[in-house]
């Protein structure tokens, strides 16, 4: 099955409406962090308070989303995502109301954290739906799952390019409050639509089985660390980019330059479906990690905006393949009834890594300039490669066992995930 045929088959299985809803439904999360920073910064005249509020939202989401994922594994996604969408929209609206009323910075940070705690992570939850969606494909399910995860990786990257761009446009044309309220409106409409879509009924119902399988294994810890490295890379590149463009007298270019990383990642993510199935996911992690390390070294040499643009664009081509392989291994390696928890944990690791990376790189940039910030980027890729080496054998074994379970299920044998 060709890559285009794989994507066309996925579209036939779910319909274009689901694809649109699941994509737009993940935009509010990507909009909320930068939107919160701009909203709180403008209301308090303090970038420090704005950054603290945005960080509180991101960390709270990283903490809260695995609990929501675990609950969705047990009772299904419909009710969980519906409550999250309505509560998240209310939380964002409350943040706008408090800023308009002149509330103190502490109250704004607390409200941002509360909103982040309940915001749904649509991307990871959408990944959970693809295995039951593609089950009728039989022997072609493996190829279709590869295409689904390639698409999801590209969709996540596209959302983190488009979301901040929409926020930037609304802030420039209207106000930061309008940007956050628009995100809240999108969440109330498309988050609820994602929750109510019929595919939500294919998830959950793990019951006691959901508590009988282990998620946190040595392999999963390595995958968690791998996604933490992705967050470190994102946070350090964004911070280093901001520092360099500011030094160059063009601070307004920081967002545009950083968006190039997402563009390269989207292209590479969509292309991974063309990789042969015999090129296993564990080897894809290793190759893409090595690729990231090679492409991170030029960041130590950049000294102008044009050279930075080239470095950011190129490293994006290694990000999505690395992430897609990590999520694909996790989806196959954990018990079927715990996939929602696993996907949201990995997404949370990325958010935590982003917070650590941006904070560490920011302090180094303050002390030694943008070059020191990019040292965090290189360090993240070194760690990513080390983890990729460590997980080779356990990932290969886990994937082999997953294939054996699938074969047994196909033969009609009872299988306990």
The per-residue pLDDT for range 208-245, each reduced to its tens digit, is: 444 456 788 889 999 999 999 999 998 888 888 888 88
Would residue 141 count as lying in a domain? yes
pLDDT of residue 173: 87
Indicate the DSSP class of residue 197.
S
- CA diameter of the chain: 66
- Range name among 62-66, 254-258, 370-374 with the lowest pLDDT average: 254-258
d(CA 19, CA 10): 10
Q: Is the pLDDT of residue 138 over 80?
A: no
Q: Are residues 20 and 158 in the same domain?
A: yes
What is the rounded average pLDDT of the residues 382-409? Answer: 85
| Greatest mean pLDDT among 254-268, 358-372, 377-391, 401-415 | 377-391
pLDDT in tens, 308-343: 999 999 999 999 899 989 988 998 888 888 888 888
d(CA 204, CA 108): 35
Q: Is the pLDDT of residue 411 over 60?
A: no
Q: Are residues 353 and 259 in the same domain?
A: yes
Look at residue 334 and give its three-state secondary structure. coil
Q: Are residues 87 and 145 in the same domain?
A: yes
What whole-number percentage of the chain has pLDDT above 70?
94
pLDDT of residue 205: 65
Indicate the DSSP class of residue 187.
I
Would residue 294 count as lying in a domain? yes
Would residue 413 count as lying in a domain? no
Cα dihedral across residues 221, 258, 241, 291: positive or negative: positive
**Higher model confidence: residue 3 or residue 381?**
381
pLDDT in tens, 20-52: 999 999 999 988 988 888 888 888 887 677 878
pLDDT of residue 45: 81
Instruction: Count Cα neighbours of 373 within 13 Å in the Cβ-side half-sphere.
Output: 25
Q: Is the pLDDT of residue 75 over 50?
A: yes
* Count of the separate structural domains present in the chain: 2
Indicate the DSSP class of residue 189.
I
d(CA 365, CA 307): 18
Would residue 347 count as lying in a domain? yes
Would residue 10 count as lying in a domain? no
Q: Is the pLDDT of residue 382 over 90?
A: yes
Q: Are residues 131 and 163 in the same domain?
A: yes
CA-wise closest residue to 172 among 51, 262, 38: 38
Q: Give the angle subtended at the CA of 61 by the CAs of 25 and 124, to the nearest 5°.
A: 50
Q: Is the pLDDT of residue 92 over 80?
A: yes
CA-wise closest residue to 226 among 161, 323, 311: 323
How would residue 56 be classed by pLDDT, with cut points 50, 70 and 90? confident
Q: In terms of pTM, does the model score above 0.85?
A: no
How would residue 409 be classed by pLDDT, with cut points 50, 70 and 90? low
pLDDT in tens, 167-207: 878 887 888 899 999 999 999 999 999 999 999 998 876 54
Q: Are residues 171 and 274 in the same domain?
A: no
Locus of tokens 């490293």: 315
d(CA 38, CA 112): 12
Would residue 88 count as lying in a domain? yes
Q: 339 is in which domain, residue-wise?
A: 210-407
Instruction: Count Cα neighbours of 7 within 13 Å in the Cβ-side half-sphere.
Output: 13
Q: Are residues 215 and 201 in the same domain?
A: no
Q: Are residues 165 and 311 in the same domain?
A: no
- For 306, the token pair is 């044009």
- For 12, the token pair is 């036939």
d(CA 88, CA 84): 6
Instruction: Count Cα neighbours of 356 within 13 Å in the Cβ-side half-sphere.
Output: 19
What whole-number percentage of the chain has pLDDT above 90?
42
Q: How long is the chain?
A: 417
CA-wise closest residue to 158 among 232, 264, 37, 292: 264
Assign residue 66 the CATH number of its domain. Answer: 1.20.1250.20
What is the rounded average pLDDT of the residues 365-370? Answer: 86
pLDDT of residue 116: 94
What is the rounded average pLDDT of the residues 59-84? Answer: 92
How would residue 406 be classed by pLDDT, with cut points 50, 70 and 90? low
Q: Are residues 363 and 253 in the same domain?
A: yes
Would residue 8 count as lying in a domain? no
């Amino acid at each position: 099955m060709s890559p285009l045929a794989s994507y066309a088959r996925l579209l036939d299985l779910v319909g274009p409406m689901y694809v649109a809803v699941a994509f737009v439904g993940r935009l509010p999360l990507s909009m909320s962090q930068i939107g919160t920073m701009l909203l709180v910064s403008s209301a308090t005249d303090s970038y420090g308070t704005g950054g603290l509020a945005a960080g509180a939202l991101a960390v709270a989401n990283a903490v809260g989303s695995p609990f929501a994922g675990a609950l969705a594994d047990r009772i299904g996604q419909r009710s969980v995502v519906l409550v999250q969408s309505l509560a998240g929209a209310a939380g964002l609206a409350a943040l706008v109301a408090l800023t308009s009323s002149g509330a103190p910075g502490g109250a704004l940070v607390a409200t941002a954290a509360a909103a982040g705690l309940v915001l749904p992570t649509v991307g990871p939850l959408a990944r959970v739906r693809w295995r039951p969606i593609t089950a009728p494909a039989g022997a072609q399910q493996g190829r279709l799952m590869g295409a689904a995860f390639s698409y999801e990786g590209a969709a996540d990257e596209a959302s983190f390019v488009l979301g901040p761009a929409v926020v930037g446009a609304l802030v420039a044309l209207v106000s930061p409050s309008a940007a956050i309220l628009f995100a809240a409106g999108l969440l109330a409409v498309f988050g609820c639509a994602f929750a109510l879509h019929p595919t939500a009924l294919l998830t959950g119902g793990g019951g006691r089985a959901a508590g009988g399988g282990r998620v946190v294994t040595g392999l999963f810890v390595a995958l968690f660390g791998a996604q933490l490295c992705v967050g470190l890379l994102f946070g350090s590149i964004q911070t280093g980019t901001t520092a360099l463009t500011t030094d160059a007298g063009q601070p307004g270019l920081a967002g545009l330059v950083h968006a190039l990383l997402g563009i390269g990642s989207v292209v590479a993510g969509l292309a991974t479906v063309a990789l042969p199935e015999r090129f296993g996911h564990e080897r894809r992690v290793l190759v893409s990690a090595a690729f990231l390390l090679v492409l991170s070294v030029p960041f130590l040499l950049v000294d102008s905006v044009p050279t930075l643009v080239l470095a950011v664009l190129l490293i994006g081509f290694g990000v999505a393949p690395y992430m897609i392989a990590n999520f694909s291994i996790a989806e196959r390696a954990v018990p079927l009834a715990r996939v929602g928890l696993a996907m949201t944990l990995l997404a949370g690791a990325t958010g935590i890594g982003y917070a650590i990376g941006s904070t560490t790189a920011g302090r180094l940039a303050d002390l030694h300039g943008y070059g020191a910030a990019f040292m965090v980027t290189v360090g993240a890729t070194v760690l990513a490669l080390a983890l990729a080496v460590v997980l080779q054998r356990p990932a290969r074994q886990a994937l082999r066992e997953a294939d054996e379970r699938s074969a047994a299920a196909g033969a009609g044998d009872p299988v306990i995930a």
